[in-house]
Amino acid sequence: MTDTIVSSATREVVIGFDRPFVVIGERINPTGRKLLAEEMKAGDYSRVQSDALAQVAAGAHMLDVNAGIPLADEPKMLAEVVKLVQSLTDVPLSIDSSIVAALEAGLEVYEGKALVNSVTGEEDRLETVLPLVKKHNAAVVAISNDESGISEDPDVRFAVAKKIVERAQDYGISPADVVVDPLVMPVGAINDAGVQVLKLIRRLREELRVNTTCGASNFSFGLPNRHGMNASFLSMAIGAGMTSAITNPLHEPEMHAVMGANVVMGHDPNCTRWIGKFREPVDGAEGEAPGSGRRSGRRRRRG
Protein backbone atom coordinates (compact mmCIF):
# COMPACT_ATOMS: atom_id res chain seq x y z
CA MET A 1 0.00 0.00 0.00
CA THR A 2 1.07 3.60 -0.56
CA ASP A 3 3.11 5.34 2.15
CA THR A 4 3.83 9.07 2.07
CA ILE A 5 6.87 9.80 4.22
CA VAL A 6 7.49 13.29 5.60
CA SER A 7 10.02 14.27 8.21
CA SER A 8 11.70 16.90 10.31
CA ALA A 9 15.40 16.70 11.05
CA THR A 10 14.79 14.02 13.69
CA ARG A 11 11.24 12.64 13.32
CA GLU A 12 9.48 10.78 10.52
CA VAL A 13 5.71 10.61 10.00
CA VAL A 14 4.13 8.16 7.57
CA ILE A 15 0.75 8.82 5.97
CA GLY A 16 -0.64 5.54 4.66
CA PHE A 17 -3.63 3.25 4.22
CA ASP A 18 -2.38 0.81 6.85
CA ARG A 19 -1.22 3.52 9.26
CA PRO A 20 -2.91 5.50 12.05
CA PHE A 21 -4.68 8.61 10.77
CA VAL A 22 -2.41 11.67 10.62
CA VAL A 23 -3.69 14.90 12.20
CA ILE A 24 -2.15 18.07 10.73
CA GLY A 25 -2.68 21.01 13.09
CA GLU A 26 -4.30 24.01 11.37
CA ARG A 27 -3.84 26.79 13.92
CA ILE A 28 -0.73 28.53 12.58
CA ASN A 29 -2.69 30.39 9.93
CA PRO A 30 -3.59 34.11 10.13
CA THR A 31 -6.54 33.73 7.74
CA GLY A 32 -9.62 34.69 9.72
CA ARG A 33 -7.54 35.38 12.84
CA LYS A 34 -7.19 39.16 12.97
CA LEU A 35 -5.12 39.33 16.16
CA LEU A 36 -2.67 36.68 14.99
CA ALA A 37 -2.30 38.45 11.64
CA GLU A 38 -1.56 41.78 13.33
CA GLU A 39 0.99 40.21 15.66
CA MET A 40 2.77 38.32 12.90
CA LYS A 41 2.89 41.39 10.68
CA ALA A 42 4.54 43.28 13.58
CA GLY A 43 7.12 40.51 13.99
CA ASP A 44 5.54 39.13 17.18
CA TYR A 45 5.47 35.32 16.91
CA SER A 46 4.57 34.57 20.52
CA ARG A 47 1.12 33.29 19.57
CA VAL A 48 2.66 31.14 16.84
CA GLN A 49 4.90 29.64 19.49
CA SER A 50 2.07 28.91 21.92
CA ASP A 51 -0.17 27.53 19.15
CA ALA A 52 2.58 25.21 17.94
CA LEU A 53 3.24 23.77 21.39
CA ALA A 54 -0.45 23.46 22.28
CA GLN A 55 -1.28 21.58 19.09
CA VAL A 56 1.55 19.09 19.53
CA ALA A 57 0.54 18.56 23.16
CA ALA A 58 -3.04 17.90 21.99
CA GLY A 59 -1.91 15.16 19.61
CA ALA A 60 -1.06 16.77 16.26
CA HIS A 61 1.36 14.61 14.26
CA MET A 62 2.25 17.47 11.90
CA LEU A 63 1.68 21.23 11.78
CA ASP A 64 0.50 23.34 8.86
CA VAL A 65 2.36 26.67 8.72
CA ASN A 66 0.86 29.61 6.83
CA ALA A 67 1.87 33.29 6.78
CA GLY A 68 -0.61 34.65 4.24
CA ILE A 69 -1.17 38.26 5.33
CA PRO A 70 -2.10 40.99 2.82
CA LEU A 71 0.62 43.59 2.21
CA ALA A 72 3.15 41.62 4.26
CA ASP A 73 6.46 40.16 3.10
CA GLU A 74 5.14 36.62 3.05
CA PRO A 75 8.31 34.83 1.86
CA LYS A 76 10.37 36.39 4.65
CA MET A 77 7.68 35.79 7.26
CA LEU A 78 7.04 32.18 6.27
CA ALA A 79 10.75 31.36 6.41
CA GLU A 80 10.95 32.91 9.90
CA VAL A 81 7.93 30.99 11.12
CA VAL A 82 9.21 27.70 9.71
CA LYS A 83 12.55 28.16 11.49
CA LEU A 84 10.82 29.15 14.74
CA VAL A 85 8.42 26.20 14.76
CA GLN A 86 11.20 23.75 13.93
CA SER A 87 13.17 25.12 16.89
CA LEU A 88 10.21 24.36 19.18
CA THR A 89 9.08 20.91 18.08
CA ASP A 90 10.30 18.00 16.00
CA VAL A 91 7.02 17.21 14.22
CA PRO A 92 7.16 17.58 10.43
CA LEU A 93 5.57 20.64 8.80
CA SER A 94 3.21 21.36 5.96
CA ILE A 95 4.41 24.58 4.31
CA ASP A 96 1.28 26.38 3.19
CA SER A 97 1.05 29.26 0.73
CA SER A 98 -0.55 30.30 -2.54
CA ILE A 99 2.60 32.29 -3.37
CA VAL A 100 5.36 30.23 -4.99
CA ALA A 101 8.12 32.54 -3.70
CA ALA A 102 6.89 31.97 -0.16
CA LEU A 103 6.85 28.20 -0.63
CA GLU A 104 10.41 28.40 -1.93
CA ALA A 105 11.55 30.53 1.02
CA GLY A 106 10.01 28.09 3.48
CA LEU A 107 11.56 25.08 1.77
CA GLU A 108 15.00 26.71 1.66
CA VAL A 109 15.16 26.84 5.47
CA TYR A 110 13.26 23.64 6.22
CA GLU A 111 15.14 20.75 7.81
CA GLY A 112 13.80 17.41 6.62
CA LYS A 113 11.21 16.40 4.03
CA ALA A 114 8.29 18.84 4.06
CA LEU A 115 4.75 18.59 2.77
CA VAL A 116 4.06 21.45 0.34
CA ASN A 117 0.54 22.83 0.55
CA SER A 118 -0.34 23.03 -2.31
CA VAL A 119 -0.59 22.52 -6.07
CA THR A 120 -3.77 22.64 -8.17
CA GLY A 121 -4.53 21.42 -11.68
CA GLU A 122 -3.98 24.88 -13.15
CA GLU A 123 -1.21 24.81 -15.74
CA ASP A 124 0.81 27.72 -14.36
CA ARG A 125 0.62 26.24 -10.87
CA LEU A 126 1.76 22.82 -12.07
CA GLU A 127 4.69 24.33 -13.97
CA THR A 128 5.93 26.38 -11.02
CA VAL A 129 5.17 24.26 -7.94
CA LEU A 130 6.06 20.76 -9.14
CA PRO A 131 9.69 21.61 -10.05
CA LEU A 132 10.04 23.18 -6.60
CA VAL A 133 8.68 20.03 -4.94
CA LYS A 134 11.13 17.89 -6.90
CA LYS A 135 14.08 20.19 -6.19
CA HIS A 136 13.54 19.97 -2.43
CA ASN A 137 12.52 16.29 -2.38
CA ALA A 138 9.23 17.23 -0.75
CA ALA A 139 5.74 15.75 -0.81
CA VAL A 140 2.84 17.83 -2.07
CA VAL A 141 -0.88 18.33 -1.47
CA ALA A 142 -2.80 18.16 -4.77
CA ILE A 143 -6.04 20.14 -4.67
CA SER A 144 -8.70 18.86 -7.05
CA ASN A 145 -9.54 22.07 -8.90
CA ASP A 146 -8.21 23.73 -12.05
CA GLU A 147 -8.83 26.74 -14.29
CA SER A 148 -12.55 25.92 -14.40
CA GLY A 149 -12.84 26.23 -10.62
CA ILE A 150 -14.19 23.72 -8.11
CA SER A 151 -16.66 21.27 -9.63
CA GLU A 152 -19.53 19.82 -7.62
CA ASP A 153 -19.17 16.67 -9.74
CA PRO A 154 -16.87 14.19 -7.94
CA ASP A 155 -15.94 12.59 -11.26
CA VAL A 156 -14.54 15.92 -12.49
CA ARG A 157 -12.57 16.36 -9.27
CA PHE A 158 -11.21 12.83 -9.68
CA ALA A 159 -10.07 13.64 -13.20
CA VAL A 160 -8.22 16.74 -11.96
CA ALA A 161 -6.52 14.70 -9.23
CA LYS A 162 -5.47 12.10 -11.79
CA LYS A 163 -4.04 14.82 -14.02
CA ILE A 164 -1.96 16.23 -11.15
CA VAL A 165 -0.63 12.79 -10.18
CA GLU A 166 0.36 12.09 -13.79
CA ARG A 167 2.00 15.48 -14.24
CA ALA A 168 3.92 14.99 -11.00
CA GLN A 169 5.29 11.73 -12.42
CA ASP A 170 6.48 13.67 -15.47
CA TYR A 171 8.62 15.72 -13.06
CA GLY A 172 9.95 12.60 -11.35
CA ILE A 173 7.64 12.85 -8.33
CA SER A 174 6.25 9.52 -7.17
CA PRO A 175 2.49 9.13 -6.60
CA ALA A 176 3.46 8.23 -3.03
CA ASP A 177 4.57 11.85 -2.62
CA VAL A 178 1.23 13.27 -3.80
CA VAL A 179 -1.47 13.63 -1.15
CA VAL A 180 -4.78 14.51 -2.79
CA ASP A 181 -7.26 16.95 -1.28
CA PRO A 182 -10.62 15.93 -2.81
CA LEU A 183 -12.14 19.25 -1.68
CA VAL A 184 -14.70 18.86 1.06
CA MET A 185 -17.83 20.93 0.39
CA PRO A 186 -20.12 22.34 3.14
CA VAL A 187 -22.94 19.88 3.64
CA GLY A 188 -25.19 22.68 4.89
CA ALA A 189 -25.10 24.21 1.41
CA ILE A 190 -24.77 21.06 -0.75
CA ASN A 191 -27.00 18.30 0.55
CA ASP A 192 -25.07 15.39 -0.97
CA ALA A 193 -21.59 16.79 -0.23
CA GLY A 194 -20.89 13.95 2.17
CA VAL A 195 -21.92 11.23 -0.27
CA GLN A 196 -19.86 12.90 -3.01
CA VAL A 197 -16.64 13.17 -1.05
CA LEU A 198 -16.83 9.66 0.43
CA LYS A 199 -17.27 8.27 -3.08
CA LEU A 200 -14.29 10.31 -4.25
CA ILE A 201 -12.07 9.24 -1.35
CA ARG A 202 -12.75 5.58 -2.17
CA ARG A 203 -11.88 6.11 -5.83
CA LEU A 204 -8.66 7.93 -4.96
CA ARG A 205 -7.63 5.04 -2.74
CA GLU A 206 -8.71 2.18 -4.99
CA GLU A 207 -7.94 3.57 -8.46
CA LEU A 208 -5.14 6.11 -8.01
CA ARG A 209 -3.82 4.52 -4.78
CA VAL A 210 -2.87 7.89 -3.35
CA ASN A 211 -3.15 9.22 0.17
CA THR A 212 -5.65 11.94 0.94
CA THR A 213 -6.15 14.96 3.17
CA CYS A 214 -8.69 17.76 3.55
CA GLY A 215 -9.68 20.83 5.51
CA ALA A 216 -12.08 18.88 7.71
CA SER A 217 -13.95 21.83 9.21
CA ASN A 218 -15.20 22.91 5.76
CA PHE A 219 -17.78 20.13 5.96
CA SER A 220 -19.68 21.69 8.88
CA PHE A 221 -19.49 25.33 7.75
CA GLY A 222 -22.65 27.23 8.66
CA LEU A 223 -24.12 24.49 10.85
CA PRO A 224 -24.72 24.36 14.62
CA ASN A 225 -22.70 21.91 16.74
CA ARG A 226 -19.87 21.95 14.23
CA HIS A 227 -17.59 19.77 16.36
CA GLY A 228 -20.16 16.98 16.47
CA MET A 229 -20.62 17.17 12.71
CA ASN A 230 -16.86 17.27 12.06
CA ALA A 231 -16.37 14.23 14.29
CA SER A 232 -19.00 12.27 12.37
CA PHE A 233 -17.49 13.29 9.05
CA LEU A 234 -13.95 12.37 10.07
CA SER A 235 -14.99 8.92 11.29
CA MET A 236 -16.78 8.13 8.04
CA ALA A 237 -14.02 9.64 5.87
CA ILE A 238 -11.43 7.49 7.62
CA GLY A 239 -13.64 4.45 7.00
CA ALA A 240 -13.77 5.40 3.30
CA GLY A 241 -9.97 5.59 3.12
CA MET A 242 -8.92 9.13 4.03
CA THR A 243 -5.48 9.05 5.62
CA SER A 244 -4.92 12.57 7.01
CA ALA A 245 -6.67 15.88 7.62
CA ILE A 246 -5.83 19.47 8.42
CA THR A 247 -7.88 20.22 11.51
CA ASN A 248 -7.72 21.70 15.00
CA PRO A 249 -6.37 19.13 17.48
CA LEU A 250 -7.56 21.26 20.41
CA HIS A 251 -11.14 20.18 19.67
CA GLU A 252 -11.74 16.98 21.64
CA PRO A 253 -14.77 15.61 19.70
CA GLU A 254 -12.76 15.50 16.49
CA MET A 255 -9.71 13.97 18.17
CA HIS A 256 -11.82 11.35 19.94
CA ALA A 257 -13.43 10.49 16.60
CA VAL A 258 -10.01 10.00 15.03
CA MET A 259 -8.84 7.80 17.89
CA GLY A 260 -12.01 5.71 17.73
CA ALA A 261 -11.73 5.34 13.97
CA ASN A 262 -8.14 4.14 14.37
CA VAL A 263 -9.44 1.39 16.65
CA VAL A 264 -12.20 0.39 14.23
CA MET A 265 -9.78 0.33 11.27
CA GLY A 266 -7.30 -1.86 13.16
CA HIS A 267 -4.71 0.92 13.40
CA ASP A 268 -4.58 0.88 17.20
CA PRO A 269 -3.55 -2.69 18.05
CA ASN A 270 -5.08 -3.97 21.29
CA CYS A 271 -6.71 -0.52 21.66
CA THR A 272 -3.46 0.58 23.31
CA ARG A 273 -3.74 4.30 22.54
CA TRP A 274 -7.45 4.40 23.32
CA ILE A 275 -7.00 2.67 26.68
CA GLY A 276 -4.01 4.84 27.55
CA LYS A 277 -6.08 7.95 26.89
CA PHE A 278 -9.37 7.01 28.53
CA ARG A 279 -8.82 4.30 31.13
CA GLU A 280 -10.01 5.44 34.54
CA PRO A 281 -7.71 5.14 37.57
CA VAL A 282 -7.94 1.81 39.36
CA ASP A 283 -9.46 1.88 42.87
CA GLY A 284 -7.74 0.07 45.72
CA ALA A 285 -4.70 -2.08 45.17
CA GLU A 286 -2.67 -1.66 42.00
CA GLY A 287 -4.10 -3.77 39.20
CA GLU A 288 -7.28 -4.59 41.15
CA ALA A 289 -10.41 -3.74 39.19
CA PRO A 290 -13.26 -1.89 40.97
CA GLY A 291 -15.57 -4.35 42.68
CA SER A 292 -13.05 -7.19 42.61
CA GLY A 293 -12.04 -6.99 46.29
CA ARG A 294 -12.59 -9.72 48.85
CA ARG A 295 -15.85 -8.33 50.21
CA SER A 296 -17.52 -8.35 46.81
CA GLY A 297 -16.72 -12.05 46.38
CA ARG A 298 -18.14 -13.24 49.73
CA ARG A 299 -21.58 -14.57 50.40
CA ARG A 300 -23.46 -12.80 53.13
CA ARG A 301 -23.89 -15.03 56.16
CA ARG A 302 -27.41 -15.86 57.13
CA GLY A 303 -28.42 -14.85 60.59
Q: What are phi and psi of 65, to 5 degrees?
A: -120, 120
Closest CA to 117 of 237, 203, 6: 6
**Mean pLDDT taken over the chain:** 94
Instruction: Give the pLDDT of residue 299.
Output: 46
> 181 vs 29, 42, 69, 197, 206, CA distance in Å?
18, 32, 23, 10, 15
- For position 283, what pLDDT does the model report? 72
Q: Domains in the chain and their CATH numbers?
A: 3-271 (3.20.20.20)
Rounded CA-CA distance 232/187 in Å is 12
22-28 and 244-247: which strand pairing?
A: parallel
| pTM of full prediction above 0.85 | yes
Distance CA(128)–CA(136), nearest Å, equals: 13
Query: Residue 219: what pLDDT?
Result: 98
The proportion of the chain whose per-residue pLDDT surpasses 70, expressed as a percent, equals: 93
pLDDT value for 302: 46
Q: Read off the pLDDT of residues 164-195 as tens digits, 9 standing for 90 and up.
A: 999 999 999 999 999 999 999 999 999 999 99
What pLDDT is attached to residue 284?
A: 57
Q: Which of 115, 120, 118, 67 is nearest to 94 (CA)?
A: 115
Q: How far apart are CA 138 and CA 144, in angstroms?
A: 19
Checking if the pLDDT of 300 tops 60, the result is no
pLDDT of residue 41: 96
Averaged over 150-165, what is the pLDDT? 97
- CA–CA distance, 102 with 117 (Å, rounded to integer): 11
91-147 tens-digit pLDDT: 999 999 999 999 999 999 999 999 999 999 999 999 999 999 999 999 999 999 999
Confidence of residue 281 (pLDDT cuts 50, 70, 90): confident
Beta strand pairing call for 139-143 and 115-119: parallel
Above 50 in pLDDT, residue 68? yes
Residue 290 has pLDDT above 80, yes or no: no
Question: pLDDT exceeding 90 applies to what percent of the chain?
Answer: 92
